[in-house]
């Protein structure tokens, strides 16, 4: 993508919105997004589950 950034859309959202390659979409940017406790609980669960793999990727195992 050259010097640009790309945005990926999770498959479940693509399916829900019935998007197809080449569809035009509008994107809004917000700098004031607050992450809730559910997000942090999910993040903790995933990092706990994959801690060994994350350590290997960092070269710490």
* Residues 1-59 pLDDT 10s: 578 888 888 898 899 989 998 898 888 777 777 778 888 899 899 999 999 998 899 88
32 located within any domain? yes
43 located within any domain? yes
3 located within any domain? no
22 located within any domain? yes
Enclosing domain of residue 50: 11-58
1 located within any domain? no
Count of the separate structural domains present in the chain:
1
pLDDT for res 31? 77
42 located within any domain? yes
- Residue 38 CA to residue 24 CA, distance in Å, equals 31
- Residue 32 CA to residue 42 CA, distance in Å, equals 21
48 within 8 A of 40, measured Cβ to Cβ: no
24 located within any domain? yes
């Amino acid at each position: 993508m050259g010097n640009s950034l790309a945005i990926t859309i999770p498959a479940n959202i693509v399916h829900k919105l019935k998007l197809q390659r080449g569809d035009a979409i509008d994107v809004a940017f917000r700098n004031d997004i607050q992450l809730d406790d559910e997000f942090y609980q999910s993040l903790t669960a995933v990092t706990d589950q994959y801690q060994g793999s994350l350590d290997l990727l960092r070269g710490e195992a």
